[in-house]
Each structure stands twice: as structure tokens, then as C-alpha cells.
Amino acid sequence: MHAPPGIVPGFPAGRDVFVWRGVEAAALDLDFASPDRPTLVTDVLGACAEPPATGSDREDLWRLSLAARVGGLLAVLASTTRSDVLDRVVSCPGCGEDLEVSLPVALLLDLARSAEAHPETVVDGPDGPVTLRRPRGSDQRAWRQAGHLDPEAAVIATLVVEGAATDPAVLDTALAEFDPLTCFRLDVGCPSCGLRSGVPLDLEGTLLLDLARAQARTIRDVAALARRYGWSEAEVLAVPAWRRRTYLELTDWS
């Protein structure tokens, strides 16, 4: 990409914007196997922020909308891969055929910025207008810590700003339409069976998986070059990624 790919609005108390770099050297200490996904997302964004986010900046990351946090992960991945598209393979719900899709990174980042800039929406409920706000990382943290017996009811109760939440199904549908990156669906047509459908895609989960793979590749690079040249981890990471790949191509360790 020709410009910094990850600029998502922050908060007046902290930065005006967050800009994210690639995962290469920033995330070697991150545990991508952690079952606490909200904290993992915050850790990734904090480590890959430029400069790294600590203290109040880290709390700002928690207060970002879930859509903006997905946008941050996308920006980190785009900085890592230097790609303008996000390639994914999904299964047709009709025949099970694998379908390859390419999502424009710029368009997804625009959705993330728009989400952060428009935190609320008004929907028509059965008892009158209901104002809903977008869920934030801090909401996920609170829900996880509270361990509600009825998670759906807890989510709705948290996100209703004004009005009566008498029909959770209506509000759930409204939130899905209002927050497309959080409840992401791909409108795809299957060339094999002809079915056109909305296929759900866990963007946050797949982005974390891609970043975990990038981390693993970096660790393998460090191990291979350390064995071949006797370099320390810090010395390997000081070499730009494209030069590391060139060195690996010249060895039998790649």
C-alpha cells in the first residue's frame, strides 16, 4: 500500500488518531492462543500502534467500537502483507463449494472509520423509537467479567441508550445492519449451484489467525537466520523483512 493503511479516530483524552504498523517485530511476545479474545485484540493493537499504546492510550483502545478495532487489526495485517486486498475462502451454504473472495482493504477501513464517527443509530421499535450505540471493546471486557446467564439480554441492555428494549430480535437485527464489520456477511453467488446468499465471516477471528501466522513466520525467520549466521533475535529483527527473505533464499534453512 502506498500510504499508512491504518488511521482510525481515537478519543479527545488520548490521541487524535491511531496509526498501526505491521506485526513483524511488534508482536513476538503476543500469545495468539489466548482464549480472552477482547484482551488479545487490545494487546495486538497496543503493540502495533505507532508509537506503542500504553497507559491511557491503551484504555482508548478498549473504548474504540468493535468495528474500529476490527479496522485496526485489518490495518496491522495490511501493513504486514503490503496488500490492498483481503483474500478469503468461504463455503457455499447450498453445495459446500469453496468460494474465493477478495475484499478491498480501503473499503473495509472506510467502514471502520465511519463506524467510529457515527456511534449511535435510531430504530423503530414496537413501543417507539429506540436509540442504540455501537458496542465497544470495553463492553466486551465488562460482559466477559460479569459472566451473564443471558448474554443476549445483557448486550441489548448495555447498548440501548434511549427507548424500550421490548423486542430483542428487532434490536439484534438493527445492530447487525448498523455494525456490518462486527456482524460481517458476504453477498456471494455460487457458480456451481447458482445460490446467492449472505455468508457470515468472523472478520476479527480470521484477522487474528492471519496475524498469528505472520508471527510464526517471523519466529521461523529468526530461528533460521540465527542458526545460519549466528545473529541474535534483535539483530535479525533489525533487518527489513524483504532482506530477511533474500537471506533465507540464499540458505538451505528457508
Band (211; pLDDT cuts 50, 70, 90): very high
Band (245; pLDDT cuts 50, 70, 90): confident
Q: Do 95 and 208 have their domain in common? A: yes
Task: Please name the residue that has the C-alpha cell 477478495.
Answer: 102
Using N-to-C axis directions, what is the helix angle for 168-178 and 151-159, rounded to 10°?
A: 70
Gap between the Cα atoms of 200 and 188, Å rounded = 10
| pLDDT at residue 13 in the model | 37
Q: Do 60 and 18 have their domain in common? A: yes
The answer to whether position 108 is within a domain reads yes
Q: Do 82 and 13 have their domain in common? A: yes
The answer to whether position 236 is within a domain reads yes
Q: Are 204 and 69 spatial neighbours (Cβ–Cβ below 8 Å)?
A: yes
Domains in the chain, number: 3
Q: Do 29 and 68 have their domain in common? A: yes
Q: Do 107 and 59 have their domain in common? A: yes
Report the percent of the chain where pLDDT is more than 70.
91
The answer to whether position 186 is within a domain reads no
Task: Please name the residue that has the C-alpha cell 525467520.
Answer: 221
Q: Which helix (H) or strand (E) holds 198?
A: strand 196-200
- Given a cut of 70, is residue 18 above it in pLDDT? yes
| pLDDT at residue 16 in the model | 54
The answer to whether position 190 is within a domain reads no
Gap between the Cα atoms of 19 and 5, Å rounded = 8
Q: Do 16 and 100 have their domain in common? A: yes
Segment 199-226 shows an average pLDDT of 92
| pLDDT at residue 1 in the model | 32
Gap between the Cα atoms of 202 and 42, Å rounded = 17
The answer to whether position 239 is within a domain reads yes
Full residue range of the structural domain in which residue 11 is found = 7-116+200-212
Q: Which three cell numbers stand for residue 87?
A: 483474500
Q: Do 36 and 48 have their domain in common? A: yes
Segment 235-250 shows an average pLDDT of 85
Q: What is the pLDDT of residues 162-187, one digit of tens each?
A: 988 777 778 778 888 888 888 898 88
| pLDDT at residue 128 in the model | 87
Minimum mean pLDDT among 6-10, 144-148, 154-158: which range?
6-10
Q: What is the pLDDT of residues 133-155, one digit of tens each?
A: 999 999 999 988 887 677 777 88
The answer to whether position 131 is within a domain reads yes
| pLDDT at residue 149 in the model | 72
Band (104; pLDDT cuts 50, 70, 90): very high
Q: Do 105 and 19 have their domain in common? A: yes
Q: Residue 142, class by beta-carbon neighbours within 10 Å (0-12 exposed, 13-18 middle, 19+ buried)?
A: middle
Q: Supply the mean pLDDT for the chain.
A: 84
Give me the DSSP letters along 175-197: HHHH-TTTT-EEEEE-TTT--EE
Q: Residue 43, class by beta-carbon neighbours within 10 Å (0-12 exposed, 13-18 middle, 19+ buried)?
A: buried
- Given a cut of 60, is residue 47 above it in pLDDT? yes
Which value, to the nearest 10 degrees, does the dihedral of the CA atoms of residues 90, 91, 93, 94 take? 130
Q: Do 122 and 159 have their domain in common? A: yes
Which residue has better confidence, 3 or 205? 205
Band (34; pLDDT cuts 50, 70, 90): very high
Q: Do 13 and 98 have their domain in common? A: yes
The answer to whether position 192 is within a domain reads no
The answer to whether position 47 is within a domain reads yes
The residues near 27 (Cβ < 8 Å, ≥ 6 apart) are 44, 47, 48, 211, 215
Q: Do 104 and 46 have their domain in common? A: yes
Q: Are 109 and 75 spatial neighbours (Cβ–Cβ below 8 Å)?
A: yes
Q: Do 93 and 207 have their domain in common? A: yes
